[in-house]
Structure 1
Amino acid sequence: MAEISVENFTWEVMIHLNLPGSPFTEQSDYAVVLPMVRTAVAVIESWCGPIAEMSEPAPEPILHAIRMYVGHLYENREATSLGSVNEMPLGFFDLIGPYRKWAFG
């Protein structure tokens, strides 16, 4: 079964977003990014089922979808914006689509 450590994966997401900081400094966006990673995991699991039930290790498309979703949340922290409206990043649903759990009833 695939397991991801949300706390450790948050550092990988921060590197992906090119954010400063490390586990050894107080000056980082870790406290901001960690809840976003948890939210991204919850959203993806609502579409695809628990990541823990996927193949080992967690599929890279799922991990990249988490990175993309967090990037979207990080750049669009407010419900409204001045100027442009931003959609989910292109490719997000293409990444999670093959892992989607379908239910009818």
Structure 2
Amino acid sequence: MRLIEFNGEARPLFDWARRTGISSDTIAKRLNLGWSAEEALTTPVGKQGRKPRPIVAPSIARALPALCDWQREMHAAHRQMTRSVRAFVRQMEEQMAELRHGLDQHLAAQRDEANRNIIASHAPGVGQNSQEIANDRCSRVTQESGLIGVFSTMPGITLDQTKAHLNVTIDADDALLADKLAAAKAWISAYTAGDPDADTAPAPIREAVLQLTAHLYQNREASLVGVTAMALPFGFLDLLAPYRAYAF
């Protein structure tokens, strides 16, 4: 316990506060500021008891106006620099927007040209329907990729192949997996206007059937809550891109 000596007496802080009527916090602050015990215990509380403020030296007083002017100039320069930077950023954003617009137009023109070429190369003849066009496209893409000798005789995807793809070893979900496999085949058949179980179905379509079946089996709701999901590059839609059937 801290003892304060005054007039030959040593008493604790709270005792001096009770005897003098000055709060212990005020006495402690005064002592911490370097006041003597007599000043801390006898100086009344109020303006009359405060120590005088230090007088600013004349040299500092003369320098204050110049310092204020310099501060105003710095603030003005900072504002001007901020306006210049913002103008530059706006100009760059406008240029980037023009570049993006030009690139989008260029890509759209290339896409339209590719669609026109696809339509021209698959113009149906007499008695030729969309199914025949899709099968012809699948055969052509397979031949160009050099896979005609490998995949032309592969059978349709079975339930056992689907379970092996999913690493499922139990039979309890066979009916559910069969439904998911049928739904995946139906979706891909509509997307490509072809039969994914046909003997001429290429490997990318078969792989897309397995990937879509796995997705439907592992995600059985229409939406995901609290989960961040993203499509893998070179995934499901990329596999089907060469075989997509366009309708106009």
Q: What CA distance in whole angstroms lies between the structure 1 residues aligned with 2:196 and 2:162?
A: 19
* 2:179 corresponds to: 35
Match among 48, 69, 74 for residue 212 of structure 2: 69
Q: Distance in 2 between matches of 1:53 and 1:19?
A: 22
Aligned length: 96
Q: Secondary structure at the match of 1:11?
A: helix
Q: What's the C-alpha RMSD, in Å, of the aligned pairs?
A: 2.7
Contact 1:48 1:99 in 2 (8 A): yes
Q: Deviations over 1:18-48 (max 9, x none)?
A: 0013xxxxx3321110010110011101110
Could you tell me the percent identity over the aligned residues?
A: 31
Looking at secondary structure, tell me which structure has more helix per residue.
2
Matched residues in 2 for 1:15 and 1:53: separation? 18
Q: Which residue of 2 aligns with 1:16?
A: 165
Gap change, CA 1:43 and 1:52, over 3 Å in 2: closer
Structure having greater relative contact order (Cα 8 Å, sep ≥ 6):
1
Task: List aligned pairs for 1:26-105, cutoff 5 A.
Answer: 27-51=171-195, 56-84=199-227, 86=229, 90=233, 91-104=235-248
Gaps of 5+ in 2: 1-134, 136-151
Distance across 1 between alignment mates of 2:224 and 2:196:
35
Tell me what 2:32 maps to: none
- Larger Rg belongs to: 2
**Quick one: which amino acid aligns to residue 96 of structure 1?**
L
Distance 2:203 2:236 in 1: 13
Rounded to whole Å, the distance in 1 between the matches of 2:227 and 2:191 is 27
CA distance change for structure 1 residues 80 and 53 in 2, over 3 Å: closer, same or farther?
Answer: closer
Structure 1: tracts of 5 or more residues without a match: 22-26
The CA deviation string for residues 42-85 of structure 1, in whole angstroms up to 9 with x for no partner, is: 1101110121696x332110110011001111111122444215
Task: Assess if the C-alpha contact under 8 Å between 2:204 and 2:239 holds in 1.
Answer: yes
1:98 to partner: Cα distance: 0.5
* CA–CA separation in structure 2 for the residues paired with 1:36 and 1:43: 11
4+ runs of 1 displaced by more than 6 Å? none
Secondary structure of 2:209's counterpart equals helix
Corresponding residue for 2:126? none
